A and B are shown apart, each in its own frame.
Chain A
Amino acid sequence: MADMMQFDLVSPEKRLASFEASAVTVPGSEGDMTAMPGHMPVLTTLRPGLVRVTSDKGQTDYVVTHGFVEVTATSVSVIAEKAFTREGVSKEELNAVLEAAREEAAKAKPEDNIDRTEKFIGEMVHLIDMMD
């Protein structure tokens, strides 16, 4: 079908999803964006949030923390270091990611640029709240 595209979600340990989708909304680091078939090629980093995939079978949500997304006219590939299905994610796991980031921020020396880590922590807190 012309109005479908390949959606892949891969993490280092396994391929979480690979199917045809009609639209994918990703939490880009510069703001959310929705990619539909024929979208111009974009490569962006992700912030913690929900990836919402619309396909024949309705909507599927995935939770991602770090990663990238590669959008081409015919495919969307989410390359996430940590990713979960919406149902499969537990608060503990997300909290562990948050704690790790907090530790990193606490360890950082003053000359390090910790803006990004702080932003990340903020996004994580927001994401965890959203889970409720």
Chain B
Amino acid sequence: MPNLKDLKTRIDSVRSTRKITKAMQMVAAAKLRRAQDAAEAARPYAERMNGVMSGLASAFAGADAGPKLLAGTGSDQTQLLIVMTAERGLCGGFNSSIVRLARARIEKLRGQGKTVKILTVGKKGREQLKREHGDLFVGHVDLSEVKRLGYANAQDIARDVLARFDAGEFDVATIFYNTFESVISQIPTEQQIIPAVIDEENADTTLYDYEPDEGEILRELLPKGVTTQIFAALLENAASEQGARMSAMDNATRNAGEMIEKLTIQYNRTRQAVITNELIEIISGAEAL
């Protein structure tokens, strides 16, 4: 029979765990609100950007003369995978689901004999990929010091990626992140950013006068498009992380509650058994006299 004192200690420890998970859940809920607002605020810019870009790019569609960022390098031998994860854990399957998607992609590309390079954003993804694919890492972006994601963070990443592209380090770049759908559902997503994928269906067909000419504008626009996509992914990811953490912590809080109930019942039973035992001893002692 478990000792009463041990049970008491366990109940107390589970109770304090529940307090922590409850607090984390509430913090995540507050941060989620902020992250969602930020993602919402960034949407008009991204939409305009994409609209202008697809309109411009469709003018270049099929032409080989287009800028490299649009037309590609003509090869897809070297692939850069930008894996965006969180800096912290305790957020359910958030990090693992991105890593799983990235890993499947790495295996597929390697199976096809392609060269794979990995740029990690966020500590957790790096840790998970290190053992198997550590030799493929070409860089890491640390966002652990960042309190509030800004456009500047995306610009830093984009500058790094574009410099590598200009230096001919890779042909195709793909980002991996979680799209925020709801608190309980985040969808791991992969999206090719270089060369730019143009959504021709929704291309704006208005005939614009371009000042300076199309080529010049496109050259300036494409790097910004890359930055915008990275920024949007960062924001989606931040919202997803908080959402995932919120539901993970909600589960943990509930589990802790159930455990406390179970342990309390066990504790009361044990106490009753001890009392009954003592009574039996007294009675049988009295009877023996």
CA of A45 to CA of B212, assembled, Å? 7
B38 within 8 A of A: yes
Q: Which of A13, A40, A68 interacts with B150 by CB under 8 Å?
A: A13
Q: Which of B41, B150, B209 interacts with A43 by CB under 8 Å?
A: B209
CB within 8 Å for A70 and B151 given contacts A43-B211, A45-B220: no
CA of A11 to CA of B152, assembled, Å? 12
0/1 string, A2-20, CB within 8 A of B gives 1: 0000001011111100000
CA of A11 to CA of B228, assembled, Å? 10
Contact B38 A13 (CB under 8 A): yes
Contact B211 A41 (CB under 8 A): no
Quick one: closest B residue to A81, CB to CB?
B224
Q: Which of B38, B48, B220, B228 interacts with A70 by CB under 8 Å?
A: B48
B167 within 8 A of A: no
Contact A10 B212 (CB under 8 A): no
Contact A41 B150 (CB under 8 A): no
Contact B211 A28 (CB under 8 A): yes
CA of A17 to CA of B84, assembled, Å? 32
Contacts of B150 in A (CB 8 A): 13
Contact A15 B211 (CB under 8 A): no
Q: Which of A8, A13, A30, A79 interacts with B211 by CB under 8 Å?
A: A30
Contact B217 A10 (CB under 8 A): no
CB within 8 Å for A10 and B44 given contacts A45-B220, A68-B217, A81-B151: yes
Contacts of A30 in B (CB 8 A): 211-212
Is the contact region of chain A dominated by helix, strand, or loop, or is it mixed?
strand
CA of A13 to CA of B224, assembled, Å? 14
Q: Which of B46, B221, B231 interacts with A68 by CB under 8 Å?
A: B221
Contact A12 B45 (CB under 8 A): yes
Contacts of A42 in B (CB 8 A): 208-211
CA of A12 to CA of B231, assembled, Å? 8
Count residues on chain A whose CB falls below 8 Å from chain B CBs.
22
Question: Smallest Cβ distance from B228 to chain A, in angstroms?
Answer: 7
Quick one: closest B residue to A77, CB to CB?
B48
Q: Which of B46, B49, B154, B210 interacts with A44 by CB under 8 Å?
A: B210
Contacts of B52 in A (CB 8 A): 43, 68, 70, 79
B65 within 8 A of A: no
Question: Smallest Cβ distance from B191 to chain A, in angstroms?
Answer: 17
A54 within 8 A of B: no
Question: Smallest Cβ distance from B11 to chain A, in angstroms?
Answer: 48
Within 8 A of A (CB), among B212-271: 212, 216-217, 220-221, 224, 227-228, 231
Q: Which residues of B contact A (CB under 8 A)?
A: 38, 41-42, 44-46, 48-49, 52, 56, 150-151, 154, 206-212, 216-217, 220-221, 224, 227-228, 231
Given contacts A10-B45, A15-B45, 15 further A-B contacts (CB under 8 A): A8-B44, A11-B151, A13-B38, A13-B45, A13-B150, A15-B41, A30-B212, A42-B209, A42-B211, A43-B208, A43-B210, A68-B217, A70-B208, A77-B48, A81-B224
Q: Which residues of A contact B (CB under 8 A)?
A: 8, 10-15, 28-30, 40-45, 68, 70, 72, 77, 79, 81
Closest 7 CB pairs of A and B: A44-B211, A12-B151, A14-B41, A43-B208, A10-B45, A41-B208, A42-B209
- Give 5 A-B contacts (CB < 8 Å), ordered by A residue: A11-B151, A15-B45, A41-B206, A41-B209, A72-B206
